[in-house]
Amino acid sequence: MGTISRKGWLVNDSYITGFVDGEGSFHIAFQERPDLKFGWQAIPEFHVSQNYTSRSVLEEIRNYLDCGYVKNNDAAGKRDKTMVYVVRDRQDLLRKIIPFFERSPLRTEKRNDFEVFKKIVLMLEGNQHLELEGFKEIVELAYSMNAGGRYRKRNKEAILESLTSSETVR
């Protein structure tokens, strides 16, 4: 069942799925965290980007999915004029985002990224990231997403190597 936006457009599951197929992404970020067991935190993120002039579309999607927030993208620096809808909260991912895309499947290659993303979120929820082999598997899976991780700032080997060395030290 759709909702009518301010401009009279129907926002429904199919609209959002199509929009995400074109403008969305499922991503696992890795943040250095020396206070954690392996020195890294895996952060699952769902994003939808759009030019700032279409911020209202991102707000409508946020309202429809009832989670996340819209912010300036800033990915390419101060000249970047895009906005991004972001969901990082694991419970929102588990209870809202994953069920949404299970009932309204993506139709592009992004569907494969979603399936890997879902597996990783479930692994995190099952605390598999607290064991070395589980965390390594999460890294491997994350780097298989989004064109094999070719747009990432850090390479997979650097993270995996630091996991092994930090575990040896402990």
- CA terminus-to-terminus distance, the chain: 53
Query: pLDDT tens digits for 110-144?
Result: 999 999 999 999 999 999 999 999 999 999 999 99
pLDDT of 11 reads 82
| Greater model confidence, 3 or 157 | 157
Average pLDDT over residues 2-15: 71
Please report, to the nearest 10 degrees, the dihedral formed by the alpha carbons of residues 57, 60, 66, 70 taken in order. Answer: 40
In order, the DSSP letters of 29-54 are EEEE-TTSTTSEEEEEEEEEEEEGGG
Average pLDDT over residues 64-91: 88
Query: pLDDT tens digits for 81-95?
Result: 899 999 999 999 999
| This prediction's pTM | 0.89
Token couple for 91: 């419970």
Dihedral sign from CA coordinates of 122, 127, 130, 133:
negative
pLDDT of 75 reads 64
The H or E element that residue 137 is part of is: helix 132-148
Is 95 strand, coil or helix?
helix
